[in-house]
Structure 1
């Protein structure tokens, strides 16, 4: 039992973000949202993309970006479209953050299905 507590505390401390990571995550989230809204809206058509979470590595070299899409029947298709154009997205992002960041992190995109999961839980609870 004592070992479990140590492991949980160690996990917590290893996965805490530094202040710098939090600032860079917020900056990337804000600027990526602007890129999606203003510069590549024609790429997605009528689909609205929302950047829900940005997680950045401690060395600020890699970022995981979680995106939710609305309204879309198959979000995997929209995510594939984003992944296929990730170079263009990174270039647009680089132009926006060139004064704040020395290196634009490598970005990996993931589907954030937390809204669908919450909807499913709510549906199950109503039964």
Structure 2
């Protein structure tokens, strides 16, 4: 069964579980203000998703600052403090290898807003409201 999941390109349950653990640890670190950085201290940062590589050695961390303000500055601060964050994740999540973290901006909110705006446009709304034969 696991072989079928890997062949289809979908992450296994283990990858999802470990990614969720890493997400919780990073969110906890950022919420408590354990990172001594002025930019991170002045922003509320949401860790929206963590995608683990199949060997659990790499993690892509998707973040979104509250209200989307100063996204580039927050990403730069996180990248500057990556070594500290990797050490903390390694301490709290017991794995054979410490995952290397890569921080990216989460664009899913903008994509969702764009799709919502498209669905609400008059041209599409008339198709949705029309009766089907």
TM-score by length of 1: 0.76
**Cα separation, 1, equivalents of 2:73 and 2:117:** 25
One of 82, 92, 107 as aligned partner of 1:86: 82
Q: Determine the structure 2 residue equivalent to 1:16.
A: 10
Paired residues of 1:47 and 1:71 also in contact (CA < 8 A): no
> Of 71, 83, 108, which aligns to 2:102?
108
**Distance in structure 2 (CA, Å) of the matches to 1:124 and 1:21:** 34
In 1, the alpha carbon distance for the partners of 2:24 and 2:36 equals 16
Give the equivalent residue in structure 1 for 2:24: 30
Deviates more, 1:80-89 or 1:35-44: 35-44
Name which of structure 1's ranges 38-47 and 59-68 shifts more when overlaid on structure 2. Answer: 38-47
- RMSD, matched Cα: 2.4
- Count residues in correspondence: 116
> Structure 1 unaligned runs (5+)?
1-9
Higher relative contact order (CA 8 A, sep 6+): 1
CA distance in structure 1 between the partners assigned to 2:36 and 2:111 by the alignment = 26
5+ residue gaps in structure 2? 122-133
Would the alpha carbon gap of residues 40 and 13 (structure 1) be closer, same or farther in structure 2, given more than 3 Å must change?
A: same
